[in-house]
Amino acid sequence: MSRLSPVPRGYASRAVRLRRDFSSREERLPELTSPEVLARILYEAGRKTAGRDAARRSDLLSEDEVKAADARLAAWLSDTLLGENPAFGSTENWNPERLGAYLRENFASELAQVLRRPPETGREAVEAASALFVKELGTAVRAAPRAEGCPSPEDSPEVLELVLEWSEILAGVPVGRPGRRSRESERAERKIPRRPLLKRFLR
């Protein structure tokens, strides 16, 4: 049977269906434990990095301005991954405690490229990982081919592969270390079929 609200005197007489009240439920935030959420964040970083590179190539931005913007991007990303961005949620203390410990345990030598020493705390590990991603992202964007018919730099296979790799790393998915070997060889060894890069993430 249809549940209809009573019509108060002085209001339109048409029936109005009662709506369930979900106001007491806490709104769910995008979770930083999700590779899909992280992929969207990192892809957007790639899009903005590609835009700055295009401005640099057109002499609209100087090299120093690009470096300053990259530093701001790395700082924003590290703040987000440290759980200090209220627009995102996390679960099971992954951000920042378990993420920092995971990075220190598995990627200390890679993060030492940024710090010039292994990270001593989880916060240092997350900050170094953010800086390393932004550095690798800038390199991939600049190396992307720009011939007619090529995809835009943020959609180049190299950038998309980097985004996918780091989204899995930052979510704690077991993957190979950045720059150690190709993901193709790793997937072949682990017999993992190649997924369409980010297609289902970015719909």
Secondary structure (DSSP) of 133-201:
HHHHHHHHHHHS--STTPPPGGGSHHHHHHHHHHHHHHTT---PPTTTS-HHHHHHHHTPPPPPTTTTT
pLDDT over 70 (residue 20): no
Distances (CA, A) of 42 to 1, 61, 68, 163: 49, 22, 18, 6
For 74, the token pair is 């790395």
Give me the residue label for tokens 């297609």: 199
Lowest-pLDDT range of 17-26, 121-130, 137-146, 167-176: 17-26
pLDDT over 70 (residue 22): no
pLDDT tens-digit readout, 159-193:
999 999 999 999 998 755 444 444 444 444 433 33
pLDDT top residue among 156 and 1: 156
